């Protein structure tokens, strides 16, 4: 039973905002200008600039939204080019100061602002529980012992970098760290790995694992790690053996497509627990 009657979805790019709006039944979508995908019903949505905090709060209240979720891809903006309304102008110094600490700190400011206005801020996994990665293999294959060593190291890297608010992903092959996610995102990480010589992975054989998990201490209601079929294809192009994500704390978009691509390409997709990586 949902804890709200009507959900507001602040929509960035990608499929996730539409999935959540459809799953919620009664929902109102705030389309971030120049970011959100097209195609939302204008009768149940409104376009707002990223810095129009006052307008965003007003349209959500006018739509009688009780809860709000933030969903979709939003790249860090050029703050000098934003056009804030009066509420956004008041909030912008806090956002910019938080941005200096990392994206997590910046998102915390947005969550606090919405809560101060009386909204219940909820995660995508609470709106649509089936998005959360399940434990164990998602397809036909599972990691072997060498893969497990790489999974544990990559998971430890993400955890160790948590205080620096860096990224949610790392790639390790035969104990050698190939990449750590930063501003480029997971697709960029995999593209970098694909450009490396095969010797970096230990030879021509398929080897190495992309690991995604939340950063320690991050706000779990926003910006959970996410994978989809494109992630699997990117891992394949990078010569990796598989993708491992923290079960229950990672979103899987279109699980059937993820499993289908993993099995077709011969990769594993695995949801690990904290007990398995100790």
pLDDT in tens, 89-116: 999 999 989 888 888 888 899 999 999 9
CA gap 17, 72 in Å, rounded: 6
- Which residue from 162, 187, 181 is spatially nearest to 238, judged by alpha carbons? 187
The residue ranges of the chain whose pLDDT is under 50 are none
The predicted structure's pLDDT at residue 69: 97
The predicted structure's pLDDT at residue 183: 86
* Domain finish residue from 111, 127, 143: 127
Whether residues 195 and 143 fall in one domain:
yes
The predicted structure's pLDDT at residue 75: 85
Q: In this structure, what are the phi and psi dihedrals at residue 233, rounded to the nearest 5 degrees? A: -65, -40
Compute how many other C-beta atoms are within 10 angstroms of the C-beta atom of residue 136.
Answer: 12
Domain assignment present for 42: yes
Q: Where are the alpha helices (DSSP H) in 128-273?
A: 145-160, 185-195, 229-237, 255-265
* Domain finish residue from 78, 102, 127: 127
The predicted structure's pLDDT at residue 19: 95
Cβ(72)–Cβ(17) under 8 Å? yes
Domain assignment present for 86: yes
Whether residues 202 and 107 fall in one domain:
no
Domain that holds residue 232: 132-277
* Domain finish residue from 72, 101, 127: 127
Whether residues 123 and 208 fall in one domain:
no
Domain assignment present for 100: yes
Give the pairing type, strands 169-173 and 176-180.
antiparallel
Domain assignment present for 1: no
Whether residues 116 and 141 fall in one domain:
no
Total structural domains within the chain = 2
């Amino acid at each position: 039973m949902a804890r709200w009657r009507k959900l507001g979805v602040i929509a960035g790019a990608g499929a996730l905002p539409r999935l959540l709006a459809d799953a919620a039944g009664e929902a109102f979508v705030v389309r971030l200008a120049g970011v959100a995908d097209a195609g939302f019903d204008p009768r149940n949505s409104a376009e707002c600039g990223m810095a129009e905090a006052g307008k965003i709060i007003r349209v959500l209240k006018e739509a009688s939204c009780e809860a709000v979720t933030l969903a979709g891809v939003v790249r860090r903006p050029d703050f000098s080019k934003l056009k804030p309304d009066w509420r956004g102008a008041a909030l912008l110094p806090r956002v910019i100061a938080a941005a200096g600490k990392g994206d997590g700190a910046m998102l915390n400011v947005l969550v606090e602002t919405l809560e101060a206005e009386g909204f219940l801020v909820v995660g995508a996994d609470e709106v649509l529980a089936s998005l959360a990665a399940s434990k164990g293999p998602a397809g036909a294959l599972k990691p072997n012992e060498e893969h497990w060593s790489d999974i544990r190291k990559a998971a430890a890297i993400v955890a160790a970098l948590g205080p620096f608010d860096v990224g949610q992903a790392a790639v390790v092959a035969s104990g050698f760290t190939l990449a750590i996610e930063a501003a480029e995102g997971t697709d960029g990480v995999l593209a970098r790995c694909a450009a490396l010589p095969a010797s970096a992975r230990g030879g021509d054989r398929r080897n190495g694992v992309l690991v995604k998990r939340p950063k320690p201490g991050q706000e779990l209601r926003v910006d959970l790690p996410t994978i989809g079929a494109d992630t699997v294809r990117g891992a394949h192009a990078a010569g990796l053996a598989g993708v491992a994500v923290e079960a229950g704390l990672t979103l899987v978009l279109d699980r059937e497509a993820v499993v289908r691509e993993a099995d077709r390409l011969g990769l594993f997709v695995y949801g690990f627990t904290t007990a398995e990586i100790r």
